[in-house]
Amino acid sequence: MTSGMKILALVSLFALSVQALPPNDRAKREIKQVASTIQNGDATAAAPTTPPEKKDEWAAERPQHLDKIDQIAGQYPKDDQVQATATQAFIDVGEPKRGLPHADQYVALARDSGNPELYNKALQLRANVNFSLKDYPAAARDAQAILKRNPGDPEAKNIFALSAGRGGGSLTPQAPTPTFHYDQPLPADPNRKTMAQILTKAQQNEQMKEAATFHTSALNYIKLGDHKAAKDQLDKALAKAQGNAQLLAMRSKENLALGDKQGALADAKNAVKGDPNLAQAHAALGLALQADGASPEQVRAELAKAKELDPSFTPEYEKALAGLPQNPDKAVDANGVGMAGRNAMGGFNPQTARDQLFGGLPDPVRKFAPMALVALTALVIAGVVWLLGRGSRQTPD
């Protein structure tokens, strides 16, 4: 067997051995790997030779790794060893507060197991977390719970002694220890997040990342002109980020491109409701209203609101405005260009010109005004021609 084949065989055996591990062992391995990645990233970011942009990049990436630990541990909420591993991982990366919910879960599982040794380990780990957070009374209570059943425990005595001088209580008769029984829950702390809250936040972050992926895919399909595929991607994005105004505004336009006027209108209204200050939402609503046959005033109001919220929307605003019947009271458009005779598509229409130029005259006069104007124009032209001809005849040779 060649050396290359030996290496391949070893790699295969390692992969098989990893797959053969029980699920909770794989979870613990993954948590430790993520913690190691965070530690390496922190060390690199702290190095004086690391460029600022690399430090910024790691600062943006680090929370995702922290969330990953929560996500892995969240898959095994009833496994005490996975919760213990997650707690220790957060301690190792300098995030004891994020480890506290997992420590609470570890203590609860250990207490329910009826195994005193496991319960002592869980209390000791949580005491370390609380001590790191400078919650010395809580650290002292956990240490005391261990000492009540095992007075000679060196780690518990150490943590209690360290906490006692920092407001966590004392073992001396003059200052009796706080009354706390190991089978009683800790007093509620309003600032202390539960594991369920931590996991919910982590899951939300993961869903937003998935939604962003679908959003990017939708943008690519829009560039290709594939509105159906773009809408499908936006459907998936909104399943992960329900009620997101930007995604709703995008899907409204895609629905409009696919001929679904009601779907476009519903999405646009929900987008405006979700974020009244989003220019894209008002723009989508304006276009959806126009397609649904709403009055030009309603459409203009939404388009104007979009332009007001985001001046960069002006070109799209002007383009959309050109497709609307113009206000008869306005003699010029937004650019100062005369509008007489301009129809809804921007072309010239005699009927539109007559209505705009003579709309204020009485009905009988308005009817004959165009002919009178033509006749007057013809007389003026004839007069100019006669004068020019008369002048040429009087010129001496």
Confidence band (pLDDT; 50, 70, 90) for 148? confident
3-state SS string for 236-271: HHHHHCCCCHHHHHHHHHHHHHCCCHHHHHHHHHHH
- Summarised one tens digit per residue, pLDDT across range 40-89 is 999 998 888 888 888 888 988 999 999 999 889 888 888 999 999 999 99
Q: What whole-number distance in Å separates Cα of residue 162 and Cα of residue 168? A: 8
Task: List, as one string, the DSSP characters of 170-228.
Answer: -SSTTSPPPP--TTSPPPP-TT---HHHHHHHHHHHHHHHHHHHHHHHHHHHHHHT-HH
* Beta-carbon contacts of residue 220 (< 8 Å; ≥ 6 apart): none
SS3 42: helix
Residue 141 predicted with pLDDT over 50: yes
pLDDT at 378: 80
- Summarised one tens digit per residue, pLDDT across range 315-352 is 767 777 766 665 544 433 444 344 444 443 344 445 44
Instruction: Delineate the domains of the chain, giving CATH numbers in brackets.
Output: 16-193 (1.25.40.10)
Min mean pLDDT across 5-14, 212-221, 238-247 is at 5-14
Residue 191 predicted with pLDDT over 80: no
- Summarised one tens digit per residue, pLDDT across range 194-203 is 555 555 555 6
Q: What whole-number distance in Å separates Cα of residue 170 and Cα of residue 153? A: 16
SS3 164: helix
Whether 278 contacts 295, CB under 8 Å: no
Confidence band (pLDDT; 50, 70, 90) for 151? confident
pLDDT at 180: 37
Residue 370 predicted with pLDDT over 70: no
Which class for 171: exposed (0-12), middle (13-18), buried (19 or more C-beta within 10 A)? Answer: middle
SS3 338: strand
For residue 47, what are the CA distances in angstroms to 5, 42, 54?
Answer: 40, 9, 11
